[in-house]
């Protein structure tokens, strides 16, 4: 199975309700441990960001193909796969952050889900509702709403690219 190397979607810039950046969004904020008993991936969707103040209603606003943009160390904390799966279940097509927690990043890459590192992303003029286009081959990220490019996007590693194209670690192993 081959995936499209270009993703386009509406952005959600994750900030506090008063517009301040949020770094260190941990896996408990993404998918609260009170819901760890849920094993159906589709059911996980409604709990995404359920423990992140100001973002508890995100699942009701998110649409398939949307893209999340956040600060540094996104997904730090525990190794819970549900923190990746809840966004996949919502249909979020990618996450662009300044950096990711190591375990979160590995879980997402193994799932074949695109995480893009872009230092300084929150210092650009991107806002919630903007439409961006991500070219995973050239690593260009373009804000189509404002006709501007983001700089310093880190390219996929060869392993991340192979897993994304294959669909997951299990699919690559077949």
The predicted pLDDT at position 49 comes to 98
- Are 105 and 113 in contact by the 8 Å Cβ rule? The answer is no
For the entire predicted model, the pTM comes to 0.92
Q: What's the burial of 136, exposed, middle or buried (CB within 10 Å: 0-12/13-18/19+)?
A: buried
10-residue mean pLDDT series, the chain (174 residues): 80 95 96 93 95 96 97 94 96 96 94 92 93 88 89 80 76 70
The predicted pLDDT at position 1 comes to 35
The predicted pLDDT at position 2 comes to 47
The predicted pLDDT at position 172 comes to 67
The predicted pLDDT at position 20 comes to 95
The tokens for 62 are 């998110």
In the chain the domains, ranked by start, together with CATH numbers, are 6-173 (3.20.19.10)
């Amino acid at each position: 199975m081959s995936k499209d190397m270009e993703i386009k979607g509406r952005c959600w810039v994750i900030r506090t309700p008063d517009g301040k950046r949020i770094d260190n969004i941990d896996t408990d904020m993404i998918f609260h441990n009170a819901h760890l008993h849920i094993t159906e991936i589709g059911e996980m969707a409604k709990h995404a960001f359920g423990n992140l103040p100001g973002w508890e209603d995100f699942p009701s606003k998110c649409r398939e193909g949307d893209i999340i943009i956040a600060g540094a160390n996104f997904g730090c904390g525990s190794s819970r796969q549900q923190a990746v799966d809840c966004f996949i279940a919502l249909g979020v097509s990618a996450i662009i952050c300044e950096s990711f927690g190591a375990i979160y990043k590995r879980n997402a890459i193994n799932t074949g889900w695109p995480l893009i590192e872009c230092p300084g992303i929150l210092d650009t003029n991107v806002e919630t509702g903007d439409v961006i286009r991500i070219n995973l081959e050239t690593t260009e990220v373009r804000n189509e709403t404002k006709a501007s490019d983001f700089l310093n996007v880190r390219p996929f590693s060869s392993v991340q690219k192979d897993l994304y194209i294959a669909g997951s670690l299990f699919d690559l192993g077949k």
